[in-house]
């Protein structure tokens, strides 16, 4: 069992100890749930989905609260419904929310916990590869609007995260591949030899990498934005919604696009583009946007991305000094690169 710690600076919510929380990675990690719950909690609201067949035992009075399956459940209506059901049950800010599921569950339950009674502790039991290496770590919670992904949310650090790798054996192939899309991202964030590690070691390496970014920048005011590598196009593809892509698959396409865009802007050479292609190929991930994609429609959605600035389109791009947030990227360069990576 890997036991890691996410260190946090002043002003960042954390339980059970000031300034940090544990992340447990390995087979059977969910059975350590009782040991990481806030000691004062007397009730646990267990948020999950019908398709998630993972049982947890909090050791206290617990009640399941199901949300709808799929990305469509990641909206404000779901958050309101959860908060109203918690209120009727009598959940207090001294109790705990336990999110059992993938990124949709941890994002929704985490955001609802952040706003209910102005903050209830939350523990994430991550059951998908994507949630274990990324979504459940770091306290970014939120839901979607029709205008874009994750446009409404809050920073709300969990009390603990349990990444039980036993739960990954039953994932559908495309759901697992979606997690590989987020895992591939870490190959460009400094995690070396990732594809050669065992599953437990690979998940732990990704968690350790993300924890280092979160510790340095808990509220994404600087360096932590680099964790969004590949996500600007990915979120646009998901928002347009006309393409059959899971989140991690869209991230993989976004990584290939970002490498090509950096090359077009003279920031990297062809060798760097080829390196991106090799990593994505090794994980069996796509590197092309669908042939029927509309570049101008994607461009308009990318303008609404959270990273966008007054200087125009903003991307995380590779360069001579590694990954950087680059603002003011010209429209014509983006459109030409979208055409280049269109299947």
Q: Which residues are catalytic?
A: 118, 140, 182, 210, 220, 224, 228, 231, 235, 247
In three-state form (DSSP H/G/I as H, E/B as E, the rest C), the secondary structure along 25-45 is EECCHHHHHHHHCCCCCCEEE
Given a contact cutoff of 8 angstroms between Cβ atoms, the answer to whether 229 and 221 are in contact is no
C-alpha 120/C-alpha 339 separation (Å) is 46
Contact (CB, 8 A) for 36 and 57: no
Integer Cα distance of 41 and 96 in angstroms:
6
Where do we find the tokens 């590989």?
A: 180
Percent composition of the chain: helix, strand, coil (DSSP 3-state, to 5): 45, 20, 35
Tell which phi-psi region holds residue 82, choosing left (phi > 0), alpha (psi between -120 and 50) or beta: alpha
Q: How far is CA 269 from the centre of its chain?
A: 29
Q: State which H helix or E strand residue 111 sits in.
A: helix 103-115
Cis preceding linkage at 40, omega within 30: no
* Residue 177 neighbours by CB under 8 Å, 6+ apart: 246, 248, 249, 283, 284, 285
Q: What is d(CA 286, CA 244) in angstroms, rounded to the nearest whole number?
A: 12
Phi/psi for 318 (5° steps) reads -75, 160
Token pair for 52: 């998630």
Under 8 Å between Cβ of 117 and 92: yes
């Amino acid at each position: 069992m890997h036991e890691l710690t996410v260190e946090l600076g002043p002003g960042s919510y954390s339980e059970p100890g000031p300034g940090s929380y544990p992340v447990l990675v390995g087979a059977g990690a969910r059975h350590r749930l009782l040991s990481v719950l806030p000691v004062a909690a007397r009730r646990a609201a267990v948020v999950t989905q019908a398709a998630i067949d993972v049982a947890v035992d909090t050791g206290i009075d617990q009640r399941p609260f199901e949300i709808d399956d799929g990305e469509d459940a990641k909206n404000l209506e779901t958050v309101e419904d959860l908060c109203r059901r918690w209120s009727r049950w009598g959940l207090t800010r001294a109790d705990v929310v336990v999110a059992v599921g993938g990124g949709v569950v941890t994002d929704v339950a985490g955001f609802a916990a952040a706003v209910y009674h102005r903050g209830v502790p939350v523990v994430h039991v991550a059951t998908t590869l994507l949630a274990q290496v990324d979504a459940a770590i770091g306290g970014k919670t939120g839901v979607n609007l029709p205008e874009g992904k994750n446009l409404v949310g809050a920073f709300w650090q969990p009390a603990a995260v349990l990444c039980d790798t036993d739960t990954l054996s039953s994932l559908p192939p495309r759901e697992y591949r979606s997690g590989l899309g987020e895992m591939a991202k870490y190959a460009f964030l400094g995690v070396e030899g990732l594809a050669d590690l065992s599953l437990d070691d690979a998940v732990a390496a990704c968690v350790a990498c993300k924890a280092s970014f979160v510790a340095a920048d808990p509220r994404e005011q600087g360096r932590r934005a680099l964790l969004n590598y590949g996500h600007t196009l990915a979120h646009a593809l998901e928002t347009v919604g006309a393409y059959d892509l899971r989140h991690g698959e869209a991230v993989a396409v976004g990584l290939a696009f970002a490498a090509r865009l950096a090359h077009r802007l003279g920031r990297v050479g062809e060798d760097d583009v080829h390196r991106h292609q090799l990593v994505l190929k090794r994980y069996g991930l796509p590197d092309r946007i669908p042939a029927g994609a509309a570049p101008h429609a994607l461009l308009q959605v990318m303008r609404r991305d959270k990273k966008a600035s007054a200087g125009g389109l903003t991307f995380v791009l590779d360069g001579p000094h590694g990954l950087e947030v680059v603002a003011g990227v010209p429209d014509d360069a983006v459109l030409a690169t979208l055409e280049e990576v269109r299947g």
